[in-house]
Amino acid sequence: MARPDRPIALVTDGSRGIGAATSLRLASAGFRVAVNYFSNRSAADEVVARIEADGGSAFALRGDVRDEQQAARMIEQAAVDGRLDVLVCNAAAAAFTPTPVSALSWSDFRTKVTDELAGAYILAQRALALMEKQGQGNIVFVSSTAADGPPSHGMTAHGTAKAALNTFARFLACEAGPLGVRVNVVAPGFVRTEASAHMPQAVQQQLADRAPLGRVAEADDVARAITMLVGDDARFVTGAVVPIDGGTSVSRM
Ligand SMILES: NC(=O)c1ccc[n+]([C@@H]2O[C@H](COP(=O)([O-])OP(=O)(O)OC[C@H]3O[C@@H](n4cnc5c(N)ncnc54)[C@H](OP(=O)(O)O)[C@@H]3O)[C@@H](O)[C@H]2O)c1
């Protein structure tokens, strides 16, 4: 079977925030990008149009990453000639409202954790099956420093879900390595996106002051790290959880 002229990347929630920046970066790096969206088709079309205007190649792909059938279909539709080179599991599949354990029902906690893992597990399992046949591929999960950082109030469900994601990625890296597939995690601290825009400016400034690099992250900071991890410069890196936080996590040690 002829090799498609560009390697293929699927970015979940590739139409907004960190995912949109990642779609743009991967397209610049030469990938044909499947830009997943959930409800906002026009945001995905806009990212595709920006990529095409820059001479790149992309297409929009609707799907709910938590749904087994939809996730499987997304992998099939993203893979050109049955080939998928990169999967970026970025979608914030689980709604997130900071709530202390005392006020958080078991049902809401379970939904948060299982939605986060469903969005990663189904796609990664299907992608790995294709990548195994190719003998190469890259999977990157977008986690959070909330997984390993000092526990902050109301973040139990989010931190637990992201910690489970990190652990899943490490196990998967061990299973996937012998197949030629690398699996890594980026763990951003606070990133300025629409989803985080509610954070008061004063708090954003405190976070910037606490970071050794003196600012909070932009979506493109995360996208650059993802692009580096899926490229040859990181060819001997797998099972890594890379904080993208301007040094905040080490400065707390
Ligand atoms: N922003 C931060 O400060 C920060 C920090 C650490 C980690 N992260 C992680 O980075 C990732 C991206 O965050 P972001 O801030 O850039 O979010 P975002 O893209 O600005 O917003 C969330 C988007 O996720 C999409 N989505 C929701 N449910 C989905 C589903 N079931 N399937 C597919 N897509 C779905 C929605 O797309 P539609 O608009 O199409 O409905 C929604 O607009 C998340 O995993 C998040 O946990 C973010």
Q: Whose CA is nearest to atom 32 of ligand 1?
A: 64
Ligand 1: centre distance to CA 13 (Å): 6
Q: Tell me, what's the pLDDT at 81?
A: 86
**CATH code matching the domain that covers 8-244, chosen among 3.30.565.10, 3.40.50.300, 3.40.50.720, 3.40.630.30:** 3.40.50.720
Pocket test for ligand 1, best of 11, 12, 13, 45 (most atoms within 8 A of CB): 13
Task: Judge if the beta carbon of residue 18 lies within 6 A of ligand 1.
Answer: yes
Per-residue confidence (pLDDT) for residue 4, from 0 to 100: 60
Q: Is the CB of 141 under 6 A from ligand 1?
A: no
Closest of 188, 197, 248 to residue 220, by C-alpha: 188
Pocket of ligand 1 contains residue 22 by CB under 6 Å = no
What's the pLDDT at 253?
63
Q: In what order do the strands lie in the sheet with 86-89?
A: 57-62, 32-37, 8-11, 86-89, 137-142, 181-188, 241-244
Q: Is the CB of 37 under 6 A from ligand 1?
A: yes
Three-class SS state of 57: strand
Ordered mean pLDDT values, 10 residues apiece, the chain (253 residues): 76 98 98 97 98 98 97 96 96 85 96 94 97 98 92 93 97 98 98 91 95 97 98 98 96 73
Is 25 near ligand 1, meaning CB less than 6 Å away? no
What is the rounded CA–CA span in Å between residue 176 and residue 129? 10
Q: What is the pLDDT of residue 201?
A: 94
Q: Is 112 in the pocket of ligand 1 (CB under 6 A)?
A: no
- Residue 253 CA to ligand 1 center (angstroms) comes to 29
User: Cα–Cα distance between 182 and 187 in angstroms, integer?
Assistant: 17
All structural domains of the chain with their residue ranges? 8-244
Q: Is 172 in the pocket of ligand 1 (CB under 6 A)?
A: no
**Residue located nearest, by CA, to atom 41 of ligand 1:** 39
**Quick one: pLDDT at residue 58?**
98
